[in-house]
Structure formats: structure tokens, C-alpha cells
A = this chain, B = another copy of it.
Amino acid sequence: MISKNQDIPTPEVCTANIAAVRDALYVLNGKWKLPLIVTLLNGAKRFKEIQRSLNEITPKVLSKELKELELNGFLERKVFNTFPVSITYELTPYSESLDEVIESLRSWGEQHRKHLVKGRRLESVLQDH
């Protein structure tokens, strides 16, 4: 999509491309999506387990985030007919399709932070973590 002064796509294509990028950003957006995915990397977890591993995310927010990730096909909610019922969440194979995107974001983000540090304007630009 990006290409300075050469083979600029038509406006329609360009809009579609922006939309695609926004879709991707949208899906990973918010405070908890990444931590949530990461915490499920080493296997299925239950609601309360996830909550504990994520430095006390509130149940309302956790519930919402899990639903979104499930709708996106990144994780599966499994119900076990024990008593009381137990429920687990685990990453789907499809979630692996995120690997490349996340890795490219990660490496660019890392590089960019260094770039800003060199220019000494880190604070004015990026958030604290």
C-alpha cells in the first residue's frame, strides 16, 4: 500500500487497504487483548485462573474480552459437565495466524522505541508501561 511517488493505487483500492489495516488494528486493540492471548499460550485456562494471571482484570472486562476473542475465532470456550460446571478457554489453531502480524508489530515497536530514545523525545510520544 505504501509506496512513495510510485504506483499509487486507485482511491478505492486505497480505501479498502486502509479498511483492512483498521480491521487488523481493531482486533488487537484495547488494554487486554495481547496479555490475554499470551497468557493462553501455555495452555487452556479457566476464567478465574486467567483473572489471577492478568494482574486482576475485573470480571466484567474479562468477560467482554473473552467474548470478542471468541467471536474472532482466536479461542474456544469449552464447557465440561462436571459439578459444578467447569469452563476453559483455549487458543484455536486459527489464532496462530496472528503470529506474523504480532511479530512484525513487535519488532517495529522495539526498533521505534530505540529510534525515539536516540532523538530524546520518548516521553512525549509513547505511553508508560
Contact = CB atoms under 8 A, between A and B. Distances in A.
Number of copies: 2
Contacts of A99: 2-3
Interface stretch (A58-66, A78-86, A117-125): A117-125
A25 interface: yes
Interface residues of chain A: helix, strand, loop or mixed (majority): helix
Interface in A44-83: 68, 71-73
A104 to B, nearest CB: 4
A100 interface: yes
Interface residues of A, number: 61
B73 A2 contact: no
A68 B81 CA distance: 52
A2 B127 contact: no
Interface of A: 1-5, 8, 14-15, 17-29, 34-35, 37-38, 41-43, 68, 71-73, 91, 94, 96-113, 115-116, 119, 121, 124-127, 129
7 contacts: A1-B38, A15-B129, A21-B102, A23-B113, A25-B29, A97-B115, A104-B105
